[in-house]
A = this chain, B = another copy of it.
Amino acid sequence: MHDAHATPPDLPETTLPPGRRGAAGAAYTWLKREILSGRMRPGQTLSENEIASQMGVSRTPVREAIIRLESEGLLNVRPQVGTVVAPIDLDQVADGQFLREAIECRSARLAAGRVRPADARELKSLLRDQARAVARNDQAGFIALDDRMHQHIVAMAGRPNVWRAVEDVKAQLDRVRVLSLEDPSWLAAVLAQHEAIVRHVLEGDGNAASKAMEAHLRTVFSSIDAIADERPEYFRGDPVASRSGTPPEPPPPKPARRNP
């Protein structure tokens, strides 16, 4: 009974088709991308019916996607009222920053003691590619390479799947990030920080690697206050929201009845 012989090689214990499992998975992926890309803005209302008809499915899979995104903190569902893209909570962003620092600094420290030749090659290769992306002013490409480098350092620490947890908190941070217009000089500065991190890791200096990682993460974080001051309408619990600047969308106060 309960034989274990059926498991060895072929039984894929994945059980988690990463993002896409049917219509619900498609809805989840699509909605998440809309939110993280900034196309759906913080505070914007959603309609299950609208999204469902727009995607050509029923409410059920859309609801499933919404439930998952709510548990990730990207949506706020108010029963019997409506669903909105979660306004950015500065306190929550700070929590995410804290978590990233805790995880990635520790990873960098451990990675410094476990450098294998393949790791050194990979990190150097990533730095080269990043330099090329900076030279071409390719922001999207640079960001992708940035993520891969951070992920590889976590993997070097021996816990590759921890990156999933980082991705969850990173989502909140990235939502702020896309609000800032990242200029080329910023890219170059980030590249220099990456080079410092890799240097310390390859030298086996865990303490310095951790410190460099902390400084790096905080550089990105430091720009948030400026953004919150510039776009208060996207943030929650912001006492400075009194200034009557540009509203989220020009004049969409047409949500009244549609059949007069």
Q: Is the CB of B15 within 8 A of A95?
A: no
Q: Tell me the complex Cα distance, A4–B161, Å.
A: 35
A236 at the interface (CB under 8 A from B): yes
Interface size of A in residues (CB-CB distance below 8 Å):
46
Query: 14 A-B residue contacts at CB 8 Å?
Result: A1-B247, A1-B253, A15-B78, A16-B76, A21-B79, A22-B79, A67-B67, A68-B68, A68-B71, A94-B159, A98-B157, A102-B102, A102-B105, A102-B107
A2 and B247 in contact, given A15-B78, A95-B162 (Cβ under 8 angstroms): yes
Q: Mark A162-186, 1 if CB is under 8 A from B, else 0.
A: 1001000100000000000000000
CA distance A98 to B102 in the complex (A): 10
How many copies of this chain does one complex carry?
2
For A169, the closest partner residue in chain B by CB is: B165
A106 proximal to B (CB < 8 A): yes
* CB pair A95 B159 closer than 8 Å: yes
Interface positions of A from 9 to 28, Cβ below 8 Å from B: 13, 15-16, 21-22
Interface residues of A in 111-153 (CB under 8 A from B): none
Within 8 Å CB of A76, what residues of B?
15-16
A79 proximity list for chain B (CB < 8 A):
21-22
- What mask results when residues 238 to 252 of chain A are scored 1 for a CB within 8 Å of chain B, else 0? 000110000110010
